[in-house]
Structure 1
């Protein structure tokens, strides 16, 4: 009995040493291997520390998180495309609905994509009042593309007035800057005298 009492402190000491080794061994091992928690893991731990204790596992689980989250890719939905064969019907529908802005945008885009088809369709129309904005764009495009003579032919479809005058002035301005027309041709432009003087003086711009 006395022998047991004598060795009991030694046993307790040994057990204490074993317990301490068991506790600190992983820490010493990780330190020797230079294993440190990553920034992402520290962020996850911090997030969980402030989480709701009653939350479900999937809300509290510590999982590595990337340093920079990839933003969701924007889904670009394809715009509605109208078949070229349906464009006359679409223009007619827009005209009946009174949506003249959309009508002229559609007509101008049609001419941009298929000038021949749009020209043939316009040739069949008896009245161009609803198409004046689109025709103005078409005239400007033809002149800008380097064919002022053809643009002048199209300008005849414009209703006489300030807009037609401005379109004519723009055509002759382009022709003057690009030297498509001679000075004699500029002088015979169907424009008021003051606007012809503006063309000849270079006031039309560069």
Structure 2
């Protein structure tokens, strides 16, 4: 693994932000604008970007914006996607790994919080796993959905539905927050405090 430069972050506790997002741009031009603004916000705060290593779709847009604004950009891409020539060759670091599982683990290990831009099933899967790992106490990192034009409102409602039906504890619901503003997303990650990871089953239920 390539060594990283000393942290220059202006936000205590945050060094690098992992961004999950689509490998397509989507039909709404606001999604590309949001990806560009997110990359610029990360650079403006003196943070590094960690992402899936692609050069296409929102992935390429957020990486290019962060690089242009002076941020360190680290991409992690599985070999199968690298063979399809979708890897970004003009970022600070590009790690090629064997599997999608290795990719997600490295992305989590190298970052201090997660921002979710609009995306498809793969983006959703990455975000839900990050939530689960905080829920279980595997890591203590926050998750913010960048809710561009209400794209993630259904997800917010689903989380609330899970709480109402007893599958997510109320104190765990704030693991995921929602905002349309990139700077507010970074503020939320900087202020995040993970809930205590309790046992899943109460003694009375055994």
Q: Is TM more than 0.5 here?
A: no
Tell me the TM-score normalised to structure 1 length: 0.28
Higher alpha-carbon Rg: 1
Larger strand share, 1 or 2: 2
- Structure with bigger helix share is 1
Specify which structure has the bigger relative contact order, considering alpha-carbon pairs within 8 angstroms and separated by 6 or more residues: 2
